Amino acid sequence: MDGMLQGVVNWLDALSIHATIRDAGWVVPAVQSIHIACVALVFTGALIVALRGLELAGGHWSLARWSRYFHGSTVAALWVLLATGLVMIVAEPERELMNWIFRTKMLLVVVTLLIAGALGRRLRRPGGGQPVNGAVRLVALLVVLMWIGVATAGRWIAYAG
């Protein structure tokens, strides 16, 4: 896998857009700022749904209503996260692709998306306004913890690998 990814790194390093982004010092911090703002959208949605599941916040709406409320913004934010993440990879391919923490983060993102997607579908299905059982609430909490893991790995990319 290292050999294959090293090939991708070499290819990205040779692209003119890589040099353009690297030479314009403002691009990476600007893209990272947008990335963090989108993390806020995704993470807050997961957090409020989990807290509503535990009946700690948002009592005026059902869990299903909150899930529907955050669905659109979460999906949009995830696409922007993908786009900004790709820009960061093009800017610093070696730092990202050859870093085991980055790879762990990507694996965690995929698993979290699968679980969060299944949870969202369960909450938004017809009749989802009914009270949900403890297992669903637990999964909502698990999704929050997994997003914390993703964000933690994201910050650690800068320090280790």
Q: Which residues bind other proteins (CB under 8 A)?
A: 25, 28-30, 32-33, 36-37, 39-41, 43-45, 47-48, 51, 57-61, 69, 73, 148, 151-152, 155-156, 158-160
Q: DSSP code of 59?
A: T
Q: At what angle do helices 16-23 and 63-91 cross, to 10 degrees?
A: 100
For other proteins, the closer of residues 8 and 158 by Cβ is 158
DSSP 96: H
Cβ 126 to other proteins, closest distance in Å? 20
Q: What is the distance between the alpha carbons of residues 34 and 49, in angstroms, rounded to a whole number?
A: 23
CB of 37 to other proteins, least distance (A): 6
Closest contact distance (angstroms) between CB of 133 and other proteins is: 23
Nearer of residues 41 and 80 to other proteins, judged by Cβ: 41
Sign of torsion, CA 139 53 124 80? Answer: negative
CB of 158 to other proteins, least distance (A): 8
Q: Which is nearer to other proteins, 73 or 104 (CB)?
A: 73
- Select 10 or 152, whichever has its Cβ closest to other proteins: 152
**Cα 28 from Cα 21, distance rounded (Å):** 7
With contact defined as beta carbons under 8 Å apart, do 37 and 124 qualify?
no
